[in-house]
Amino acid sequence: MRTGGRPEETTVGATVGVATALDELKSRGSALLVVGSVPEEVYARVSACLLGGDCTADRRRLVVEDATTPEARYASVDRWTPEWTRILQCNVATRGSTAAASGGVEFSPGQPGSDRSRPTPRSSRFSTDRPSRSTDTESGSRQGATTTVNGSITELGVEIGGAIQQFDSVAGGLDPAELRVGFDCVDTLLAEYDERTVFRFLHLLANDVRTVNGMAHVRFPKPFEAESTRLFAPLFDAVIELRLNGSEPQQRWHFRDADVVSEWLPVDS
């Protein structure tokens, strides 16, 4: 793909190649990088779709954000119990307190699909019984599903990894694309940590999601051509580029393994 400097990538239409490549990502687990500076409402609509808003199948959702996002992102969420939906508010430590907060633990990426042990998160509101997969709306709210994570980047990673393991456990094994993860905090982490540390964190996050055949999307509101985008892009299976064409929000998909890039498509298409 263009991010990796591959000149042989092919531009395809909305129905050629893109749908096939996306189906492949859903079947085997994937991580997507969402780039481009667009209004919050536009990103919320894209994120809602990636979280499974256009699907009738059951979805378990984990969202990591550093600020409250528009309600459009959660319009399709009808289960606000921790077995189905969790929102983590990221409040990372400053550089000066990192060592004390993390206890000297250093991030190191694992291999894709490896079975890495993790400390148990500080608290768990998950039940040990597998929940019923009814279509009835369950009571709850976005506020009730939100937990603030204070501490270092290491503790944030532990909390995310623990939540993924708990989703997998309570489901009795997650189906492909059943788990959807949204992560909005790259800029927040870069304000406190160097690029190498954040790169390792994202590597670990992507591998954790792929291990359970889930789908993650990571927001990085920088231009597609930016040097920082080129740094992180190899960690991901595809890059979704967002822009405003006048007042019309558009998206363009760049698939790494398929060596294809879509045309500019309307958001919500």
Phi, psi of 34 (to 5 degrees): -105, 115
The neighbour count for residue 196, using CB atoms within 10 Å, is 10
Look at the pTM and tell me if it is higher than 0.85: no
The predicted pLDDT at position 268 comes to 79
Q: Is the pLDDT of residue 85 over 90?
A: yes
> In percent, how much of the chain has pLDDT > 70?
75
- What are the pLDDT digits (tens) for 54-73? 776 789 999 999 987 888 89
d(CA 217, CA 65): 12
Q: Is the pLDDT of residue 37 over 90?
A: yes
Domain boundaries in the chain?
2-124+138-266
The predicted pLDDT at position 139 comes to 42
Q: What mean pLDDT do residues 249-256 have?
A: 94
> In percent, how much of the chain has pLDDT > 90?
60
Round the average pLDDT of the chain to a whole number and report it.
81
Q: Is the pLDDT of residue 109 over 50?
A: no
Q: Are 34 and 249 a contacting pair, CB within 8 Å?
A: no
Torsion, Cα of 47, 179, 225, 196 (10° steps) = 130
Q: Is the pLDDT of residue 90 over 70?
A: yes
The predicted pLDDT at position 68 comes to 79
The predicted pLDDT at position 104 comes to 38
Distance of CA 203 to the CA centre of its chain: 12
Q: What mean pLDDT do residues 51-55 have?
A: 82
The closest alpha carbon to 145, from 87, 74, 70, belongs to 87
The predicted pLDDT at position 259 comes to 72
d(CA 18, CA 172): 31
- What are the pLDDT digits (tens) for 218-243? 999 999 999 999 999 999 999 999 99
Give the fold, CATH level 3, of 2-124+138-266: Rossmann fold (3.40.50)
d(CA 262, CA 186): 25
Q: Is the pLDDT of residue 136 over 60?
A: no
The predicted pLDDT at position 112 comes to 36
The predicted pLDDT at position 138 comes to 40
